[in-house]
């Protein structure tokens, strides 16, 4: 396939439509690209050791940990000097397998898989209209 300005515009439009659908489906208007890369990596690779995610997503290790919490169960944050729980989106989950408690495996939840598939469906559907 020859890469033309038109092809690049089509690809960018598809990414924008996918991102818009994710915002509608998750209610999170500020999903950074690094979180999107994490979701897409887990969709493509399935359950993955958290220690491998920085290399696979090109995101720093500390950012991967924060993103797993934000996309997963949530995390504690300091707001106005008070530590409060900020619920996550419930799209991913991490667990330690019984055979090796030293590693953390991360995977999409059923909701996470459904949200990504619906966002892709909406992005592709809007392209064909």
List of domains in the chain: 5-128 (1.10.10.10)
pLDDT for the residue 5: 86
Average of pLDDT values for 85-101? Answer: 94
For 41-78, write each residue's pLDDT tens digit.
999 999 999 999 999 999 999 999 999 999 999 988 88
The pLDDT > 70 percentage for the chain reads 95
For 29-50, write each residue's pLDDT tens digit.
888 889 999 999 999 999 999 9
Exposed e or buried b for every residue in 105-116, given b needs 16+ CB within 10 A?
bbbbbeebeebb
pTM attached to this predicted model: 0.85
């Amino acid at each position: 396939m020859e890469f033309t300005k038109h092809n690049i515009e089509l690809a960018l439009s598809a990414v924008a439509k996918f991102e818009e659908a994710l915002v509608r489906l998750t209610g999170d208007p500020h999903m950074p690209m690094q979180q999107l890369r994490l979701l897409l990596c887990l969709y493509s690779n399935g359950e993955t050791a958290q220690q491998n995610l920085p290399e696979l997503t090109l995101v720093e290790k500390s950012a991967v940990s924060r993103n797993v919490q934000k996309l997963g169960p949530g995390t504690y944050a300091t707001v106005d000097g008070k530590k409060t729980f900020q619920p996550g989106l419930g799209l991913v989950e991490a667990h330690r397998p019984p055979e090796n408690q030293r590693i953390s495996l991360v995977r999409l939840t059923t909701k996470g898989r459904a949200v990504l598939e619906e966002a892709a469906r909406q992005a592709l559907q809007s392209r064909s209209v």
